[in-house]
C-alpha cells in the first residue's frame, strides 16, 4: 500500500506539472484588463447560422434577441437548419423572420453535418460572396443586445475567427446547471480571456463565435463533422496559423443540463470527440509544436489529454490496489485510506479554488444570487468527479451525437435583471 501512496503522489505531481502553465493564465486574468477592440470603421454583412433539432420551446427567444441587436438588422440575415425535426421548430423560426431549410438525413447525424448542409444551401441560393462572415449560435442561446456590435469591432480589426463570452441563463436551476455553468465560465474567464491577453489562440466552445466567409470558402465549405466539430475547427485554425480571438464584451447566454444523465452523456461525447480530433490531427499538432514552437498546439494538447489519461491511470491503480489489499487482507490498509483521503482533500481544494475564483471575479456577470453562486462552488468538485463516469463511457460505450432537450425560455432583459440582484 505504500507503493500506492507513492503512485498517487507521482500522479498528483504530474497534474501540477502539466497544468502549471495555466497559473500564468490565471495571473493574467486577475491582473490584466481584458483585450478590447477599437470601434469598427465598417459594419459588415453577416449570415447567422443556427442548427436546431426540436427546439420550438427556445428558438423564438434566440431569434428575438438577434432582432433586438444594436447592429443594423438589414446587415444580419438569419438562417436555420431545422435538422430532422418532429416538432414546430421550422414554423416558429419562420414566424420570427428566419430563413429555414428543413434537413432530412438520418445517416449523417450531428451539428457538423447540419452546418455543412446549411452553408451549402446559402452558397447555392445566395452566392458564395453574399456575406463577409457567419455567426454560429445554438437554438437555446440568448444574446446581449450589443453582442453583434462588439463582435463586429473584433472582426473589423482583422480577425478571421472571434469567440464571445459564454454565460449561463440557468445557473441557479440546480447543482448540475450551476456546476456546468462554472465549468464554462472558467473556460471563458481563466482560459480564453488570458489567451487573448497573452497573444495566443482562444478555443471555440460550440456556440457564440464568428468566422470569416473567406476562411471557409477557401476550405470548400464546412468540413468539420467529428463529434466535437467546434474543437476540430479550433485545431484546424491553429494548424493553419489562424488565431482565434476572444471578445470579452460580447456576451451570450447558454442553457446547461439540469439532469445528471444528459450531462454525463454530453460530456462523454465531448471526450470521445476530443480523442477523434487528436487521432486525426494529433501528429500534425505535435509536429507544429516541436518544429514551429507552436504554444497554441501545446496548450490544446495539455488542456485536454493529460487530464483524461492521468485520471484513468489513477482510477485503475487505486482500484487494483484496493482489490489486492482486500483479497490478501493486508495489514496496512490504513495507508491506502490515508492516501485516498489526502488525494481527495487536495483535489477538492484545487477545484474549490478554481471555481471560487471564477465565481468571485465573474459575480457581476452571472445571472444568479450570491447563495446560488456559493452553492455552485461548493458542489463543483462533485460535478468534476462525475467526469470519471463520462470518461469510461467515452472509452467503452457507443457514443453518438444526441440532442439535449432545452426548455429555459428567457429573454435577454430578464437575464440582465437577474445579474443585478
pLDDT grade for 342, boundaries at 50, 70 and 90: confident
Q: How far apart are the first and last CA of the chain?
A: 51
C-alpha distances out from residue 18 to 166, 257, 297, Å: 26, 30, 14
- Residue 339 is predicted with a pLDDT of 66
Average pLDDT over the chain, rounded to whole?
Answer: 90
What pLDDT does residue 9 have? 74
Of the pLDDT bands very low, low, confident and very high (cuts 50, 70, 90), residue 185 is very high
Angle, CA of 210, 216 and 217, to the nearest 5°: 135
**pLDDT tops 60 at residue 1:** no
pLDDT at 77: 97
Q: Which of 12-21, 136-145, 386-395 has the highest mean pLDDT?
A: 136-145
Q: What is the pLDDT of residues 13-71, one digit of tens each?
A: 888 888 899 999 999 999 999 999 999 999 999 999 999 999 999 999 999 999 999 99
pLDDT at 322 over 70: no
Handedness of CA 152, 196, 116, 390 (dihedral sign): negative
pLDDT at 165: 98
DSSP H or E stretch at residue 413: helix 412-419
Number of Cβ atoms within 10 Å of the Cβ of 199: 10
For residue 375, what are the CA distances in angstroms to 351, 372, 410? 13, 5, 22
Question: To the nearest whole percent, how much of the chain has pLDDT over 70?
Answer: 88
Angle of helix 2-18 relative to helix 295-328, nearest 10 degrees? 170
pTM: 0.90
Question: For residue range 263-317, what is the model confidence (pLDDT) as tens digits?
Answer: 999 999 999 999 999 999 999 999 999 999 999 999 999 988 777 777 777 767 6
Kindly list the domain boundaries of the chain, sorted by start residue.
1-33+43-421
**From the centroid of its chain, how far is CA 204?**
7
The average pLDDT across 218-229 equals 94
Percent of all residues in the chain with a pLDDT value above 90, rounded to a whole number: 74
The dotted CATH code for 1-33+43-421 is: 3.90.550.10
* Cβ-contact 228, 267 below 8 angstroms: no
- How would DSSP label each residue in 362-382? TTTTSSS-HHHHHHHHHHHHH
Contact 165, 247 (CB under 8 A): yes
Burial class from Cβ neighbours inside 10 Å (0-12, 13-18, 19+) for residue 36 reads exposed
- Residue 124: pLDDT band with limits 50, 70, 90: very high
Phi/psi at 132 (nearest 5 deg)? Answer: -85, -25
The answer to whether residue 414 scores a pLDDT higher than 70 is no
Asked whether the beta carbons of 206 and 188 are under 8 A apart, the reply is: no
Residue 93: which of 117, 122, 118, 64 has the closest Cα? 64
- The answer, yes or no, to whether residue 421 has pLDDT greater than 60, is no
pLDDT, residue 119, reads 97
Amino acid at each position: 500500500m505504500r507503493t500506492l501512496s507513492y503512485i498517487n503522489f507521482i500522479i498528483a505531481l504530474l497534474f501540477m506539472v502539466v497544468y502549471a502553465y495555466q497559473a500564468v493564465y490565471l495571473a493574467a486574468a486577475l491582473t490584466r484588463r481584458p483585450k478590447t477592440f477599437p470601434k469598427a470603421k465598417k459594419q459588415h454583412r453577416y449570415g447567422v447560422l443556427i442548427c436546431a433539432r426540436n427546439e420550438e420551446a427556445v428558438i423564438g427567444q434566440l431569434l428575438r434577441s438577434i432582432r433586438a441587436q444594436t447592429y443594423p438588422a438589414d446587415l444580419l440575415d438569419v438562417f436555420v437548419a431545422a435538422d430532422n425535426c418532429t416538432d414546430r421548430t421550422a414554423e416558429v423560426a419562420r414566424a420570427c423572420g428566419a430563413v429555414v431549410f428543413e434537413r432530412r438525413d438520418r445517416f449523417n447525424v450531428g451539428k457538423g453535418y447540419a452546418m455543412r448542409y446549411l452553408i451549402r444551401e446559402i452558397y447555392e441560393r445566395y452566392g458564395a460572396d453574399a456575406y463577409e462572415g457567419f455567426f454560429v449560435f445554438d437554438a437555446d442561446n440568448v444574446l446581449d443586445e450589443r453582442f453583434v456590435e462588439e463582435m463586429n469591432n473584433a472582426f473589423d480589426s482583422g480577425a478571421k475567427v472571434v469567440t464571445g463570452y459564454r454565460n449561463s441563463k440557468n445557473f441557479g436551476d440546480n447543482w448540475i446547471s450551476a456546476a456546468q455553468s462554472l465549468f464554462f465560465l472558467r473556460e471563458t474567464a481563466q482560459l480564453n480571456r488570458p489567451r487573448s491577453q497573452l497573444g495566443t489562440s482562444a478555443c471555440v466552445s460550440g456556440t457564440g463565435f464568428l468566422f470569416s466567409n473567406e476562411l471557409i470558402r477557401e476550405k470548400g465549405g464546412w468540413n468539420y463533422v467529428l463529434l466535437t466539430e467546434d474543437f476540430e475547427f479550433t485545431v484546424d485554425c491553429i494548424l493553419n496559423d489562424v488565431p482565434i480571438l476572444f471578445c470579452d464584451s460580447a456576451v451570450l447566454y447558454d442553457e446547461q443540463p439540469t439532469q445528471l444523465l444528459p450531462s454525463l452523456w454530453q460530456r462523454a461525447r465531448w471526450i470521445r470527440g476530443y480523442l477523434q480530433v487528436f487521432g486525426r490531427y494529433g501528429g500534425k499538432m505535435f509536429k507544429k509544436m516541436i518544429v514551429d514552437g507552436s504554444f497554441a498546439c501545446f496548450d490544446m494538447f495539455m488542456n485536454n489529454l493529460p487530464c483524461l489519461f492521468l485520471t484513468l491511470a489513477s482510477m485503475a491503480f487505486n482500484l487494483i490496489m484496493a482489490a489486492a489489499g482486500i483479497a490478501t487482507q493486508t495489514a496496512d490498509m490504513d495507508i491506502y485510506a490515508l492516501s485516498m483521503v489526502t488525494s481527495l482533500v487536495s483535489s477538492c481544494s484545487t477545484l474549490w479554488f478554481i471555481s471560487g475564483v471564477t465565481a468571485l471575479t465573474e459575480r457581476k456577470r452571472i445571472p444568479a444570487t450570491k447563495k446560488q453562486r456559493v452553492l455552485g462552488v461548493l458542489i463543483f468538485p462533485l460535478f468534476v468527479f462525475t467526469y470519471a463516469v463520462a470518461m469510461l463511457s467515452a472509452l467503452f460505450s457507443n457514443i453518438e451525437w444526441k440532442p439535449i432537450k432545452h426548455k429555459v425560455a428567457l429573454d435577454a432583459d430578464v437575464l440582465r435583471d437577474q445579474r443585478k440582484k
